[in-house]
Amino acid sequence: MLLALALSALGCGDDGADRPSDPVFPERDWEAEADLLLAGPDWYRHAVFYEVYVRSLQDSDGDGIGDLPGLTSRLDDLRALGVDALWLMPIMPTPFKDSGYDVADYEGINPDYGAMSDFEALLDAAHARGMRVIIDLVLNHTSSEHAWFQESRADKTNPKADWYVWSDTPSDPNNSCGTQNVVFGPSAWEYDAGRDQYYFHRFYPEQPDLNYESPEVVAATLDVARFWLDKGVDGFRCDVISLLYESADDCGFLDKTKAYIKQLRQVVDEYPDRVLVAEPTNLTDAKSYFGSGNDQFHMAFHFGFGYFWSLQFGSQNAAATLATFQNALTEYPAGSQDALVIGSHDVVRAFDAAQGDESRHRRAALIQMTMRGSPFIYYGEELGMRSGTAKVVDFRDSARTPMLWSGGPGYGFTTGTPWLPFGADADSTNLEVQQGDPASMHSYYRSLLGLRRGRAVWGSGDAEILSVDHAGVFAARRFDADQRYVVVVNMTDDPVSAKLALPGGESRPGRVLGQGTLTIEGEAGTLSMPARQGAVFRTK
């Protein structure tokens, strides 16, 4: 009785709690193994990334705006969650028409966030903890306030006259994307009185597209990458990278763009252990971003799951989820690595994607953390942070509310007035209350990340989708020479019983996370899962 109590207090008993336990296999020094995995050039395959909106993470000076010193002061909290690397949304000077995706100076720091010395201090503090930092690189467009654009718009003959895409008419026949694929607004062409011409902008009018047909633009943007690599950043998340070039007959991911990316990769490869992450614009298949597997991107976001899991869970059917991972496993070149997300600054909070059913968020995170690839957690996701209702920049501010570290009124984020009001339910979705609660979302994330820690199989092992005789069950196995796991998620709202094929010779399934039972006989597994649950079984 006492032992049972002690074990359940440690979260080790079969008490149904979502806590890792390893009843069959001995523990090892996973921290030491993690240090080894995260030290080499393949660090990014094993790292847990965390996407940070600096403006909303931590304010250090009471102005209500998150900043770099604030972020630096939170590194230990993020380490405690299990985060190994940060992706910072744009940190450069900007008029903030698109939350920093409108860069006014590629070699500076947004003064709201601090000074270059603050960024250097962040890099040092992160590196001292063995953490990495990648930054957003926004190359498709600049801010209209960037000096390059100011020069380009001055007249038709200045040295930077062709650094942007200019046309006498608002629909250039040489650029069919001028009328298609405009992302924000009714038209992709904006009239400029100075030149009496129109310039092309795929996004807001304040974000003119650079003209990569100009060799000078190619050289200047590669120099931007060098500048930050010299500073010591560990890599880049490349914004809408497929859109660099446009043409008369194709708005897609052109060969010219791929050639540019190869040049960028060569620059990155001049520095040790740096990585490139693509933001695909093809949301259902990121294959084209990997090139041969080692000449374009190291990673690309897997949006086929990341932006569609809400629908996939809503359908109560696992087919689409299985298909998108199957596609990645069989179609992507060797060496490619999925960047696994369930949200970002561009889409609704996971809580909303889950339609308020927290178990959907948890099951989506379980798939995110266990499929082959590297997870990227969007700040606050680990707390199930809710949406806000206020809008300061644009409609996406609902998912960009300030981080909730402790109780109100400033929730540990600021001593002043937050630049954007906090999201809903802040008293139950802050770190302080969740840390003390083993049933909280935060505790669940700690369990998931604890399961990955130090185990190479998750980041770089093999994966195989398993066939199941129940349409609502997602099942996969992960394996390398050291360990084997079976991951099963019941995507329905009902209990399920199912048979699954286990051709890998799995045996002795020990449940290490979640709920449900799996028994194995020969090459067949028999599964029983409660409603809305998922589980991870270790089989070697």
Interaction site with ligand NOJ (CB under 6 A): 98, 101, 138, 203, 239-240, 279, 345-346
Which H helix or E strand runs over 330?
Answer: helix 319-331
Q: Which two tokens stand for residue 373?
A: 């690839």
CB of 140 to ligand NOJ, least distance (A): 7
How far is residue 326's CA from residue 485's CA, in Å, rounded to a whole number? Answer: 17
Query: Among the options 27, 29, 255, 270, which is catalytic?
Result: 270
CB of 344 to ligand NOJ, least distance (A): 7
**Is position 239 annotated as part of the catalytic site?**
yes
Name the β-bridge partners of 487.
476, 536
What DSSP string runs through 24-40? SS----HHHHHHHHHHS
CB of 109 to ligand NOJ, least distance (A): 18
Q: Residues near 219 by Cβ (< 8 Å), separated by ≥ 6? A: none
> Amino acid identity, residue 250?
D
**Is position 145 annotated as part of the catalytic site?**
no
Tokens 């974000």 correspond to what residue? 207
Pick between residue 33 and residue 63 the one whose CB is nearest to Mg ion: 63
Strand bridging mode 85-88 / 132-137: parallel
Pick between residue 172 and residue 279 the one whose CB is nearest to ligand NOJ: 279
With beta carbons less than 8 A apart as the criterion, state whether 483 and 509 touch. Answer: no
CB of 396 to ligand NOJ, least distance (A): 7
In the list ligand NOJ, Mg ion, none, the entry touching 49 (Cβ below 5 to 8 angstroms by class) is none
Chain residue at closest Cβ approach to ligand NOJ: 101
With beta carbons less than 8 A apart as the criterion, state whether 376 and 49 touch. Answer: yes
In the list Mg ion, ligand NOJ, none, the entry touching 67 (Cβ below 5 to 8 angstroms by class) is Mg ion
Burial annotation 376-411 (CB, 10 A radius, 16+ → b, else e): bbbbbbbbbbbbbeeeeeeeebbbbbbbbbeeeebb
Pick between residue 67 and residue 172 the one whose CB is nearest to Mg ion: 67
Pick between residue 73 and residue 327 the one whose CB is nearest to Mg ion: 73
Task: Please report, for residues 289, 335, 336, 504, the alpha-carbon distance to residue 331 in angstroms, rounded to integers and kept in the order given.
Answer: 12, 12, 10, 21
Q: Which two tokens stand for residue 387?
A: 């949406």
Binding site residues, Mg ion, CB under 5 A: 59, 61, 63, 65, 67
**How big is the chain, counted in residues?**
540
Query: Among the options 102, 190, 239, 381, which is catalytic?
Result: 239
> Amino acid identity, residue 249?
D
Closest of 450, 442, 399 to residue 420, by C-alpha: 399
Strand bridging mode 374-378 / 49-52: parallel
Pick between residue 63 and residue 213 the one whose CB is nearest to Mg ion: 63
Pick between residue 65 and residue 369 the one whose CB is nearest to Mg ion: 65
Q: Residues near 62 by Cβ (< 8 Å), separated by ≥ 6? A: 414, 415, 416
Handedness of CA 412, 416, 422, 425 (dihedral sign): positive
In the list Mg ion, ligand NOJ, none, the entry touching 83 (Cβ below 5 to 8 angstroms by class) is none
CB of 426 to ligand NOJ, least distance (A): 24
In the list Mg ion, ligand NOJ, none, the entry touching 63 (Cβ below 5 to 8 angstroms by class) is Mg ion
CB of 89 to Mg ion, least distance (A): 16
Pick between residue 200 and residue 474 the one whose CB is nearest to ligand NOJ: 200
CB of 174 to ligand NOJ, least distance (A): 23
Residues serving a catalytic function are 239, 270
